Structures are given as structure tokens and as C-alpha cells.
Amino acid sequence: MTESAGLRDSRVPHLPPDKPWGFSTKSVHAGETHTKPEFSITDPIFSTATYTFENSEAILEYLKNRTSREEYGRYGNPSEKVVERKLAELEGGETAVLFASGMAAVAGYLLSKLKAGDEVVLIDECYHRTREFCREYLGRLGVTTRQVPAGNYEALEAAITPRTRLLISESPTNPHLSVVDLERFVAIAKKHGVETMIDSTIATPYNVRPLEYGVDVVLHSCTKYLGGHNDLLAGVLVGSVEKLEPCRKIRGVMGLVASPYTVYLLERGLKTLQLRMERHNQNGLALAQFLESHPRVEKVYYPGLPSHRDHVIAKRTMRGFGGLVTFLVRGADWRETARVVDRVRIPRIGPSFGGVESLIEQPMLMSYHDFTPEQRAAVGIPDNMIRVACGIEDTEDLIADFKQALEG
């Protein structure tokens, strides 16, 4: 979809259709009709499970695809379609399919693509629940999962076999914030005729748009930055109509739909995405720079720092580097690390990121508590690791808070 085509679809008359909109203008207006039901400025919430037909002829017209409308809540909602158009425009894709959560989107996509005997190659720093779903649940269906180290493109290519159907990676990854060289990733996939999916939740379409590099499908957990207020669960896939229509069908079969109120909250959150991301980017970089200079910090993982392994790739491909910062407390065991977490005053302790409130966690306790020490070591989760999700608070306040927590 071209930018101008997307704008014409939006039907906002005061801007010429051949003038591309900026990101924030798209966030506010893209995908919406200029005049809404009952002349409301916001899209209404359609709290209905079913949609009625005036007569039998109306059913026939619908079945012949001559009318655009809804039939049953499991297959779609008018507000959902608005948000899908907006997300597709922001990401630069033809279409988007909204799900009840990011993991519902992952599961729906993989189940629509893979069958017994197929293989999928994962970067080993992908979200651990994605890895778990592939390894344990798809494994039961006869799908083989191969994991390769992040940043090792030779290993990535070597893992591809004639049965490989899909390459998957997060970028940046969580919590190490490794950044994929999207051009190289796509080139390897195209060479072998394999499709690609990038989980771009941490980056958001404001900081990078993987479809522009040739990635086939982009995934977001809308729960994070896109919703932005820690008050909803949703996920989305963005790509071509051809690749995503099977996902839309399986979503309807399995009932993996977002609720009408969730859709409303997501649309509201998207309108301020650029404004929030600018502050997330600012806070993330400033906190990372402060932590790297502090004597109690052993190492900082943040792609905006020159010390990060993938800084050159990140600088070339990303507008900003996000609000997620991971660091190691020098010489600390898990209890001493926990005391640093407990001493901060602004961030709340919690397992998510991307909201206006800052969050903090010790991955060993929050996300990898059921791993043995050996298993944690194998995936790069030491006991002295802390992950911070910077919100949109004042930068100086966040830095002062971490200063007192580290020195207290």
C-alpha cells in the first residue's frame, strides 16, 4: 500500500491525497472515516456479539460479498477494522489482523502456516513463550524447531533445510536487546525460498518498519507500546493480504479476537504513539548512558550505546532505540540485585514494558524462575541482571532514582 493510497482510504478532505502524512498524523487519523456514526469524533464501541439482517435477501447479498458488514463477533467488529487499517498504515503493510494478545497472534500465524513435517528456525533470543510454543506445542504436531544464536547469520543459513518454512526473530530482542540485520536476514530467507516474521514489539513502527526491508510479516504485542498504558491485552500481524488471510480465518475459528473495549483502548493509545515513543527513546538512552558510567554497573545492554554489539546495525536501521534497558549489577548475587530493584521508587516491579509508567524486574525471578541455574546460564540470564522499562516520567527523576538505588 502506498502512503497516498492509505490517505485516500482515510477520507480526510482537508489534505490533498498526494501529500504523504507524517507519522503522528497517521496515528491520529489513518484508517478512520472522517464522519463517524452519530457524528462522534471517536469511533464507537460496538458491544455486540451478533449482527442482525433486515431480511433474507440481505443475507444473500452478504454471502455473495456484495455488502461490507459484520455477521458475528468472533469474525470481526467495525471498530476492529478501523484499528487494523490504522496499524497497517503505520507499519506500511497491506493489511493487519488483530488478535486477543501477542501470543494469540503468534499461535494463530504459526498454526496457519505450518503442518507436520515442516521446520521453523528461531533466533534463540526470541520471546521465551514463543520458543516454548514452537518447541513444545508445535512439536506435538510434528513441526521441528531449530534455534540459532542471535547475530550468527552463518548458523542461521546452515539451519535451513528443504523443509524449513519460516525464519523468526525478535528485533530488538528481550532482554538482551540484540538487533537483527534485517537486510541480511531477508536475503538469507529469499535465497532459500523461506518466509520471515519479525517480532517488532520493542521497536514499534515508529522506530523501525521491517516490511520496508522485505520482511513478510511483522508481529506486535499491542499490550506494550502500541496500547501504551498498561491497560489492555492485544496482538497484531501486519503484512500482505495473501499471507494474512489464512490467519484471519483461523482467528475466527479459534475465537482469538480482541474485545470491543480493548479495541477502543488500543485506538486511543495509538493516537499518542509518536509523542510517547519520543519520550521513551529519550529516557531509555539517558538512563543507559547513566548506568554505563556508574561504578556499580558491570554491563549495559542498550542498542543506542556504542558499546552494544549491534549498535552499528541499530544506528543504521532505527529512528530511536526504545525505552527498554537491561544491566548487570557488578559483583552482586541475586539477593543484592533484588535489593537494588526494591530500592527504586519510581518504577513499579512488573513483567511488562511499553506503558507510560516505568517498570522494573529481575529476569531471574520474574520470567525465568522455573529455569535451573544451568538453563538460565544457557540463555544468558545471570542472577545479577535487571531489566528496566522506562516510561514517560521526567528523565532527571528516573536517573536520580537509579542513582540513589545503586548507592543506597
Catalytic-role residue among 109, 127, 206, 225 = 127
For residue 116, give Cα distances in angstroms to 165, 169, 178.
11, 22, 31
Among 130, 42, 290, 317, CA closest to 207 = 317
Q: Report how far residue 265's alpha carbon sits from residue 193's, in angstroms, rounded to the nearest whole number.
A: 39
Question: Any residues with CB less than 8 A from the CB of 2 and at least 6 apart, and which?
Answer: none
Cell triple for 242: 495473501
Question: Active-site residue 85, yes or no?
Answer: no
Catalytic-role residue among 146, 224, 276, 387 = 224
Question: Active-site residue 127, yes or no?
Answer: yes
Catalytic-role residue among 62, 74, 249, 271 = 74
What are the φ and ψ backbone dihedral angles of 106, each rounded to 5 degrees?
A: -60, -50
Strand segments (E) across 171-270: 195-199, 217-221, 235-239
The angle subtended at Cα 96 by Cα 92 and Cα 63, nearest 5°, is: 130
At residue 194, the 3 state secondary structure works out as: coil
Question: Active-site residue 199, yes or no?
Answer: yes
Cell triple for 169: 526473530
Beta bridge partners of 218: 198, 238
Catalytic-role residue among 199, 216, 310, 383 = 199
Catalytic residues: 74, 127, 199, 224
